[in-house]
Amino acid sequence: MSETGWAIALHGGAGVMRRETMDAAREAEVRAGLAAALAAGREVLDAGGSSLDAVQATVCSLEDNPCFNAGHGSVMTSDGTFELEAAIMRGSDLAAGGVINVSHIRNPVSLARYILDHSEHVVFAGAGAERYAAGAGFELISSGYFETEMRRAQFNATRASGAVTLDHDGKRYGTVGAVARDRAGSLAAATSTGGLNNKAPGRVGDSGIIGGGTYANDKSCAVSATGRGEAFMRMTVARDIAAMIEYGGVALADAVERKVMTELPVINGRGGVIALTRTGAPVLQFNTPGMYRAAQCEGEAAQVAVFAL
């Protein structure tokens, strides 16, 4: 990793993913999706583009991929509807955009980006968010676009079991996210999700919350989280990791270790984070058996992984 080169990392959710039980075809599909999303961001960075553009490109790729719980392939609420969340943040000036509980926006992260660029506001929710989007030229799509056969089957299985707010396959915290550093040294982070399978309508998670699931500050680091959003919000995980660096002089790896492995488990905070230091060194950590993830630094090979190493 060069101190002046670009770097990027992404996640596609954390949870109970075990080498011994994962279908080989499914694993190959997921790995291809992670590699493609990494490539989307890498191309932006390698052409000299901004970290903000890169994380948006990577997250859009993951939103468009039905393997991941965001955009197309999102999980459903207990009503069988879709309520998506996303946020994006630029580390150079703390500019941010977030959307909460939108149901008709193809790429929620792109709406969050539009808000960052054009609105005096930072976060929009629900029907008002969609009205704002329509006024900005976004197409309001049928929410049927988000549905896939796999999610419908998971939803039906969850309902049949009487379980509520469990994630897909029982214990996966599906969310996607990316962090990047560009050659100019600016950091950015973005996160997007369909939330929890069979969640109560109206429930808000951490993905759209600045400082909860998403945070970037050129003084410290960029962070995107995935996991049970309630715990991540209560611990303001993304901001806290950066704050430990800024106020405590802690190294990023130590801050992530403390938050993810020590503090979050105390309040049942299952999940993980991806993060980049100011100089672009990736830290990817999770307290679940696996996390879909990938990372690359300029001049080095791409890394794609699913299980704990």
Exactly one of 207, 236, 288, 296 binds a copy of itself (CB under 8 A); that residue is: 236
Nearer to a copy of itself, 12 or 15 (CB): 15
Exactly one of 25, 247, 299, 309 binds a copy of itself (CB under 8 A); that residue is: 247
- Which pair of structure tokens corresponds to residue 13? 């959710």
Nearer to a copy of itself, 58 or 217 (CB): 217
Nearer to a copy of itself, 20 or 120 (CB): 120
* Residue 204 within binding range of a copy of itself, rule CB under 8 A: yes
Exactly one of 12, 49, 211, 213 binds a copy of itself (CB under 8 A); that residue is: 211
Q: Which stretch binds a copy of itself (CB under 8 A): 56-64, 127-135, 141-149, 280-288?
A: 127-135
Q: What is the largest CA-CA distance in the chain?
A: 53
* Consecutive H or E run containing 290: strand 290-297
Report the distance separating Cα 209 and Cα 147, nearest Å. Answer: 24
196: DSSP letter: S
CB of 130 to a copy of itself, least distance (A): 8
Buried b (16+ CB within 10 A) or exposed e, 152-176: eebbebbeeeeeebbbbbeebbbbb
* Residue 150 within binding range of a copy of itself, rule CB under 8 A: no
Report the distance separating Cα 121 and Cα 132, nearest Å. Answer: 11
- Residue 259 phi, psi (nearest 5): -70, -45
How does strand 123-125 pair with strand 96-102? parallel
Report the distance separating Cα 188 and Cα 186, nearest Å. Answer: 7
* Residue 265 within binding range of a copy of itself, rule CB under 8 A: no
Burial group, residue 142, by CB count within 10 angstroms (0-12, 13-18, 19+): exposed
* Residue 229 within binding range of a copy of itself, rule CB under 8 A: yes
* Residue 80 within binding range of a copy of itself, rule CB under 8 A: no
Residues that bind a copy of itself (CB under 8 A): 77, 83, 93-96, 98, 100-101, 120-132, 165, 199-205, 209-212, 215, 229-230, 233-236, 239-240, 243-244, 246-248, 250, 267
